[in-house]
Structure 1
């Protein structure tokens, strides 16, 4: 083999290796896997604007830089609501110092009975930094529609009064204020903890 042929072959070999490297660089990054339903890019659940227990209107912009977990419920809920809020409290505890970067936001679907005082006392059972929001019935319906959440007043089976049927799931926003996850009731705190950690890492 003459020197010129050897050089030519080396040039073609290097060019081929470079093209393979270029193809590798163009491969899409591995998609992040979540235990919750991935809602990245969803065109709903974009924001809320409701008063908190002190009358201050709150929106996602107030919590920028933190993971926000939004849940619709009511204080007289016998199981789903306290279980969900209790699991969020456990998740914050498990995260240690990073727990301060997670904010549970509880939106009441029963503003008729859930007064600011009652909501304040209720949320205190699940940690000091959870936020309860209470709008008018019209405002609550509008926000629920934005999140595709259903709720309905149901007469009590015995005696007077009523209870509330409502969507039992949490909506999880990343620190940039983008809706990312739909966590169904019953997912479990360990699974949601993993998802929250992933979002805190910037996924």
Structure 2
């Protein structure tokens, strides 16, 4: 075989190998999520709020953790305590990987939910839960960022009122990317399954 012919053959072989490798990469199996996959459809975890210890925090402070973010308030009569109870059970079922998970409970009732009140509230459900508070404008901007919504009912004159709010659970990976969306009615098995996948992905080098 002539040298030029040999070179062309080698180049052709390299091209075939490159195509095969590229095809293998493209066929790499994707995670079989059971929850709603929102990858690329919602923005990264990004906020500037105050945690339940009175410390300023941002989304970047939770890098390396899988985050479950939920909007609610401590005076909520039903869905908030039920959701936090369910998340506690889910993290207990998750086992050791739950150490790489944080629950972020964002108050939509800044007038009544101080850091101290939030601290007692979230810790009553799970030690891996963090209460977050901010001004009306900050909370409204964050809710809008993730297409959540809430409406405060009129004060009845005694300081008591309810806040109607969305109940979605936003799940972010360790890089702060929005990955999944769940609801309080989602099966615990499905949430545990997907958290196992996410935490195992974060554990890989």
Q: 1:71 matched to which residue of 2? A: 70
Note the 1:59-138 alignment, pairs <5 A. 59-138=58-137
Deviation at 1:151, TM superposition (A): 0.3
Q: 2:53 matched to which residue of 1? A: 54
Normalised by the length of structure 1, the TM-score is 0.82
Paired residues of 2:44 and 2:176 also in contact (CA < 8 A): no
* Change over 3 Å in CA distance of 1:92–1:23 after alignment to 2: closer
* Change over 3 Å in CA distance of 1:45–1:63 after alignment to 2: closer
Q: Which runs of 5+ in 2 are unaligned?
A: 1-16
Deviation at 1:180, TM superposition (A): 0.3
Deviation at 1:60, TM superposition (A): 2.2
Specify the SS of the correspondent of 2:197: helix
Distance 1:95 1:74 in 2: 26
Q: 2:5 matched to which residue of 1? A: none
Cα displacement string for residues 112-152 of structure 1 (whole angstroms, at most 9, x for unaligned residues): 11122211111121122210000011111111111111000
Larger of the two Rg values belongs to structure? 1
Q: 2:14 matched to which residue of 1? A: none
Distance 1:32 1:91 in 2: 20
Normalised by the length of structure 2, the TM-score is 0.81
How many aligned positions are there?
187
* Change over 3 Å in CA distance of 1:24–1:134 after alignment to 2: closer
Q: Where in structure 1 do 4 or more consecutive aligned residues deviate above 4 Å? A: 20-24
Q: Which runs of 5+ in 1 are unaligned?
A: 1-17
* Change over 3 Å in CA distance of 1:23–1:115 after alignment to 2: closer
Deviation at 1:175, TM superposition (A): 1.3
Distance 1:115 1:24 in 2: 54
Deviation at 1:36, TM superposition (A): 1.5
Q: 1:150 matched to which residue of 2? A: 149
Distance 1:117 1:164 in 2: 20
* Change over 3 Å in CA distance of 1:162–1:127 after alignment to 2: same
**2:182 paired with 1:176:** no
Q: 1:3 matched to which residue of 2? A: none
